[in-house]
Amino acid sequence: MFVWSYWMTIFTSPASPSKEFYLSNSDKERYEKEFSHERQQQILRRAARDLPIYTTTASRTIRYCEKCQLIKPDRAHHCSGCDRCILKMDHHCPWVNNCVGFSNYKFFMLFLLYSLLYCLFVATSVLEYFIKFWTNELTDTRAKFHVLFLFFVAAMFLISVLSLFSYHCWLVGKNRTTIESFRAPTFSYGPDPNGFSLGYSKNWRQVFGDEKKYWLLPVFSSLGDGCSFPTRLVGMDPEQASVTSQSEHARSIGSNQPFPIRPLSESKNRLLDNESQWLENGAEEGVVRSGV
């Protein structure tokens, strides 16, 4: 299982955004010809109107990749090592020489789990001989170095993998990526580190799937398509979002109940709806002021 998980983590190609997120040739030409940042954003807003996008940059602009020339889906980022955008990118892992994202994050978690169990097995197997070496009861002097080296290597990797696995278990429980743990995603109501959290149980199912019999097997069973994700505040007024976020978070700690969400198919693009509403309000204010 250790080798299988390691193999799948390495050789599973990271998923990239679908064709719907790429700009059309006409939009691409208009975008490249425009030198004004505001007009470029207008082109991106029109292109992103029918896309399930709920996050923006910190400056409230459309997340656009200049290299890939596409509108980034939620939780997608451009990897400089792979030179392309990765869906639900977590990090680029040098140990597997691959990007860890939506398509292979479950395999990476299982790789850490079985690595932890493997190191624990080796450390406990050698512990008896290490104690004999420490008490000078090990008669074979030629095996002393091997026992000492093997125990320390196994113990060192055990501690390292345990800390890394514990950290990623915490991330899965919060439904965050490593990138999101350092920089919270920005929604229409502002930055929210728990914006994609659906409750502890549902967060784990997002990665490992609904069928528990596949959880410990390195086969793909994650939920969704990697391009769109349910959010706990979809369909809510931006003014109520920050207050509701704090109150629901407090209630969820005690009751451990998942947050109510609306499917993406039943929700509009709140990011663009709010923006158009602001524009309409601004236009109405302009008419009133001009009339006065």
d(CA 231, CA 195): 6
| pLDDT given for residue 141 in this prediction | 66
E-only strand ranges, 34-170? 64-65, 70-71, 77-79, 84-86, 91-93, 98-100
Collapse the DSSP code of 56 into the 3-class scheme (helix H, G, I; strand E, B; otherwise coil) and give the result.
strand
CA-derived radius of gyration, the chain? 25
Which helix (H) or strand (E) element contains residue 165?
A: helix 144-174
Q: How far is CA 188 from CA 50, 53, 106, 268, 271, in A?
A: 16, 10, 30, 13, 6
CA 70 to chain centroid: 19
Q: Which residue has the tokens 């996050």?
A: 55
* Tally of CB atoms within 10 A around 145: 10
| pLDDT given for residue 270 in this prediction | 53
d(CA 243, CA 174): 19
Which helix (H) or strand (E) element contains residue 183?
A: none
List own/partner pairs for 146-151 with CB under 8 A and 24 or more apart. 150/122, 150/126, 151/123, 151/126, 151/127
d(CA 52, CA 18): 12
| pLDDT given for residue 182 in this prediction | 95
Are 57 and 2 spatial neighbours (Cβ–Cβ below 8 Å)? Answer: no
d(CA 227, CA 76): 8
| pLDDT given for residue 139 in this prediction | 72
The ranges of the chain with pLDDT < 50 are 235-268, 276-292
Beta bridge partners of 186: 56, 191
| pLDDT given for residue 144 in this prediction | 75
Beta bridge partners of 100: 91
| pLDDT given for residue 148 in this prediction | 83
Nearest to 206, CA basis, from 235, 175, 250, 244: 175
At position 46, the amino acid (one-letter code) is R
| pLDDT given for residue 224 in this prediction | 94
Residues annotated as part of the active site: 93
d(CA 178, CA 190): 19
Collapse the DSSP code of 279 into the 3-class scheme (helix H, G, I; strand E, B; otherwise coil) and give the result.
helix
Q: Report pTM.
A: 0.79
Q: How far is CA 156 from CA 119, 123, 130, 137, 240, in A?
A: 9, 10, 15, 24, 48
Beta bridge partners of 99: 92
